[in-house]
Amino acid sequence: MNMWLVIGAGTLIVLFFLWNRLGRASAAKVKEHLDRAALVVDVRTPQEFRGGHFPGAMNLPLDSLQNGLRKLGQKDRPIVVYCASGMRSRMARRILHSNGYINAINAGGLHAMMRHAQ
């Protein structure tokens, strides 16, 4: 019985990580957007942002994103969103796409964002 609990828990963990990676742009796509002078938007909280962020990023927390869309400028501009792990940025990309920001991509978490920029 315990073996099935371990297998079930392991399966859930693997599924969580796979689901979390869905909707993330490839490193090449992030780099392409950055090379096109994309607006980089950090959707973490202001406290998280103060603790370290991608150089030049705008902080627009996920819970303020819908009301702050006008700060993003033209809807066709390239935008890269990131957060801590990729979960909030995935939701942010969805919000942006549903509001017509067709060139918005999800870079995932801050660490991935830093790696993609190199």
Count the domains in the chain: 1
Q: pLDDT tens digits for 87-110? A: 999 999 999 999 999 999 999 999
Residues 83, 87, 92, 110: which is the catalytic one? 83
Q: pLDDT tens digits for 30-85? A: 999 999 999 999 999 999 999 999 999 999 999 999 999 999 999 999 999 999 99
Give the DSSP letter string of the chain. Answer: -HHHHHHHHHHHHHHHHHHHHTTPPPHHHHHHHHHTTPEEEE-S-HHHHHT---TT-EE--HHHHGGGGGGG--TTS-EEEEESSSHHHHHHHHHHHHTT-TTEEEEEEHHHHHHHH-
CATH classification of the domain holding 38: 3.40.250.10
Report the Cα 58 to chain-centroid distance in Å.
13
For the question of residue 58 being annotated catalytic, the response is no
Domain range for 35 is: 2-117
pTM above 0.75, yes or no: yes
